[in-house]
Amino acid sequence: MLYTALLPKSNFRINLTRADEELQPRRGSKTLSQQLQDHCPLLADPKQAYYTPSWVVPHGDLQTMFLYTQHFKPAGCPIEFEREVFGFSDGGVAAVDWALPRLDVSETTPLVLLIPGIGGCSFDYYARSFIQEIQWAPYGYQVVVLQSRGINGVDLVTPKMFHGGLTDDIREFVDHLVQVRPSTPIIGIGFSLGANMLTKYVGEEGAGCRLVAAVSVCNPFDIDTTISKMCEPTIKNRYLYAKALLASLKGLFNTNVKVISAGNAEIDPAAINAAKDINEFNEKFSAKAFGYGSAKELNQQGSCVPYLKNVAVPMLFLNALDDPMCYRCTIPSKEIESNPNLVLACTRYGGHLAYFETTGLTPWLPKPLAQYLKAMLEWK
């Protein structure tokens, strides 16, 4: 696809998957679908629900690579944060960043909790561009970013780091927010591996979930299949995506190796650094650190798909079919369709967390996400 302008508009239509209308939850006079069509037109209105990628970066690989370059250009999306070092009950800590400025914040001002992807943080462009959209009118919501342990300048103080299915820290932080701000409506948004973690958490909580709604963006869903495909010896995996992710994981491990080695797990730092792919890294480190028998067991038990049936709050799933890191074969359309609280929005293009549009390469993703949050908060 060289020039998106040459393709028919139908090529860019967003495909929605959800339960039949009569099965969907209803508030007042509107079902979930009706509320989305009226208040989230960029995803649900047939006249507006299109995503057209920029012809400058027309497909998933170029979109994803361009997004990576934007992480190093904060001036283009300047967001300042107030840092909190949150302490967990087991003695561990993590970086929590509150977006500034906190304008007109009251106890009832909605709070959006962001869960970044693997090794991700508040500095990432997809987070900053979303915050820039959501802070101002007509939204004016507060945003807080919960990062994994050992990320973004807060060193690991306990041997426990993170893995794709770990939900304990999300649960403890959300419980803390509810305790200190009982009148605040909280919505969670997870990106990439953070989307899997958030989805699993919401499913585990079921009807007792403290969030009023949730969003999953570029979710890998089936971690075992995703990692297995990433470990295939293709040029892109060997020299680009899998290589970059493995290097990031090794870097985080080596930064915290002294603390990790003080734990009960029997690990071999030399063998971990010699790992040739993510599966081997998980086999030699992550599975052992969290008490799993193998990397496959860790991946399968960490995947969110078995928990979809238990999600009891409105939840949007947004995935691009040309995502080079989260594969379309893992998208659980039937499971999502069988739960009336869930909606799946698939775009043909967009890459991994990228979604750039126009010649100016402006981010499209923050706009439908912001519309969805407002629609859910006003659905009464």
The pLDDT assigned to 235 comes to 86
Q: Could you tell me if 51 and 367 are in contact, meaning their C-beta atoms sit under 8 angstroms apart? A: no
Report the half-sphere exposure of 277 (CA within 13 A, side-chain side): 16
Q: Are residues 269 and 370 in the same domain?
A: no
Q: Pick out the chain residues at pLDDT < 50.
A: 1-2
Q: Are residues 312 and 338 in the same domain?
A: yes
Q: C-alpha distances in angstroms, 101 versus 1, 29, 83, 85?
A: 41, 37, 13, 19
Q: Are residues 113 and 247 in the same domain?
A: no
Q: Are residues 128 and 38 in the same domain?
A: yes
Q: Is 258 exposed, middle or buried (CB count within 10 Å of its CB: 0-12, 13-18, 19+)?
A: exposed
How many independent structural domains does the chain possess?
A: 2
The pLDDT assigned to 102 comes to 67
Q: What CA–CA distance (Å, rounded) separates 369 from 32? A: 16
The pLDDT assigned to 106 comes to 83
Q: Could you tell me if 187 and 215 are in contact, meaning their C-beta atoms sit under 8 angstroms apart? A: yes
Q: Are residues 109 and 234 in the same domain?
A: no
Q: Are residues 66 and 120 in the same domain?
A: yes
Domain span at residue 88 reads 4-222+303-377
Domain boundary among 302, 320, 345: 302
Q: Could you tell me if 144 and 79 are in contact, meaning their C-beta atoms sit under 8 angstroms apart? A: no
Domain boundary among 302, 319, 348: 302
Q: Which residues of 87-114 are buried (b: 16+ CB within 10 A; e: fewer)?
A: ebeeebbbbbbbbeeeeeeeeebbbbbb
The pLDDT assigned to 6 comes to 73
Q: Are residues 210 and 249 in the same domain?
A: no
Domain boundary among 252, 272, 302: 302
Q: Token pair for residue 226?
A: 């995703």
Q: Are residues 366 and 245 in the same domain?
A: no
The overall pTM is greater than 0.85: yes
DSSP string for residues in 255-314? HTHHHHHTSSS---HHHHHT--SHHHHIIIIIHHHTT-SSHHHHHHHH-SGGGGGG--S-
The pLDDT assigned to 3 comes to 58
**For the domain that residue 144 is a member of, what is the CATH number?**
3.40.50.1820
Q: Are residues 193 and 252 in the same domain?
A: no
